[in-house]
Amino acid sequence: MLSRTHFKLSAVALALFSSQAFAQEHKVDEQMVITATHTETAVLEAPATISVITEEEIMAEPGSALNDLVKNIAGVESQMEGGRSGREMISIRGMDAKFTMILVNGRKLSSSNAIFRGNDFDLSGIPKESIQRIEVIRGPMSALYGSEALGGVINVITKQPENEWRSQLNGDYGYRDDDNGGEYNVGFNTSGALIDDELYLSFSVAQSARDAWSPYSGTGTDSNGNVYDRSQATALEERDTLTVAGSLLWYINRTTTLPLISHTLTMIVKVSSNRLRV
């Protein structure tokens, strides 16, 4: 079990709090989603089993990995990847994790089988401070998204800047047992208008690091008859990532937005593992 401590600091105009509070009250009864149909649809009218994780729920959940943020949804579970990495993949309704499609703003993020990119890594490309909500569809969506969506779809929707500038700093630290498998995440996000109602800037930076986790003890014997120390084997790989994201948006009118700059850079500083021998 992962034990964590968490901190959060926010700086935002007072008027923003009141306007957001009103917006949240309005969304309780008329929450809209886009993943199920490619168009804005009320949750209750969507032709799929869909759950929405709100910004408040995202920020209250320690950790930044996508599997941490969706783990409390019925039918969604972590699935340990084979091979040497020990990464936790996301499975929906018992399907293999390769049939879970990950999207960001409706666009495919990456294949779950890509090198160094298990779907526990995918959210490292989007600091959670930049996320507005996560839409999770449980069940096949191959008609809209292809065969990779046989299990379901997870769509990460990022925040749109507003006129008022706001900044947020979040961090947490945790460990699995006796300081083994320690992990920390620190993230900062700021956004606002350079020109009210026309030009908006958003910037995020996030640092995430995890020590290798070994739940094993004693000695073991591999297939060649060699004796080795089981405590040196890892169930989760060590990893260290740094992500910087920024965007410059020009609102031409109420319905048309032109992204002048939109880029995310994720540096995988370190990845290492030592799997249990068989």
pLDDT at residue 161 tops 70: yes
Q: What is the pTM of this model?
A: 0.66
Neighbours of 133 (CB within 10 A): 19
Give the bridge partners for 229, in sequence order.
219
CA distance 193 to 248: 10
Tokens, residue 25: 């009250």
Residue 241: what residue type?
T
In terms of pLDDT, which residue wins out, 64 or 71?
Answer: 71
pLDDT tens-digit series, residues 103-155: 888 888 654 444 344 455 545 556 677 788 999 999 888 888 888 889 999 99
Instruction: With beta carbons less than 8 A apart as the criterion, state whether 208 and 241 touch.
Output: yes
Q: pLDDT digits over 91-105, tens only?
A: 899 898 889 888 888
Helices (H), the chain: 14-29, 55-60, 66-70, 142-145
CA distance linking residue 262 with residue 248, whole number of Å: 6
Domains and CATH numbers, the chain: 3-272 (2.170.130.10)
255 DSSP 8-state letter: S
Indicate the pLDDT class of residue 178, thresholds 50, 70 and 90. Answer: low
**Spacing of C-alpha 101 from chain mean position:** 13
Nearest CA-CA partner of 206 in 116, 120, 266: 266
User: Whose CA is closest to 117, among 128, 108, 130, 106?
Assistant: 108
Question: Which pLDDT score, from 0 to 100, does residue 187 have?
Answer: 85
| Residue 163, pLDDT score | 93
Cα 97 from Cα 256, distance rounded (Å): 36
